[in-house]
Amino acid sequence: MFTETTSGIAVHAKPRFLPEESHDGRFVWAYTIEIENKSADAVQLLTRHWRITDANGLTQEVHGPGVVGEQPVIKPGDSYSYTSACPLSTSSGIMVGSYQMVRLDDQAPLDVAVPAFSLDSPHDARLAN
């Protein structure tokens, strides 16, 4: 598991290769993200930004509202988890990103880091990390 904490918001990332979805030069990983609010303030996740780099160095930028169709509010001491997927045309890569959040009490913006995590498959000994 990969973890990074920003302003009391811990983000845990756990990727796993999906061999049943990976074929014909397409490699797929699921990743589960847990966002844990260790701060004293309720926060809401508004947008996400991902930078996904494959083993050839090709980088994709992904921006969008919320995660998996939601913009969750996370109260102090609570956590929010979701699972999504990432396809690549190479057998390894790396993802890193951030969530743009807001503190609900004063509407202060928070840019919360998502830790870099490797997308490794059993098909290639050359890994991106």
Residue 69 lies in a domain: yes
Instruction: Return d(Cα 56, Cα 27) in angstroms, integer.
Output: 14
What predicted TM-score, i.e. pTM, was given to this entire model?
0.91
Burial of 85 (0-12, 13-18, 19+ CB in 10 A): exposed
- Beta-carbon count within 10 A of 16 CB: 12
Residue 35's domain comprises 2-117
The domain spanning residue 77 has which CATH number?
A: 2.60.40.1470
How do the pLDDT tens digits run along the chain, 129 residues long?
999 999 999 999 999 999 999 999 999 999 999 999 999 999 999 999 999 999 999 999 999 999 999 999 999 999 999 999 999 999 999 999 999 999 999 999 999 999 999 999 886 655 444
Residue 122 lies in a domain: no
Q: Identity (one letter) of the amino acid at 25?
A: G
In the chain, the number of structural domains is 1
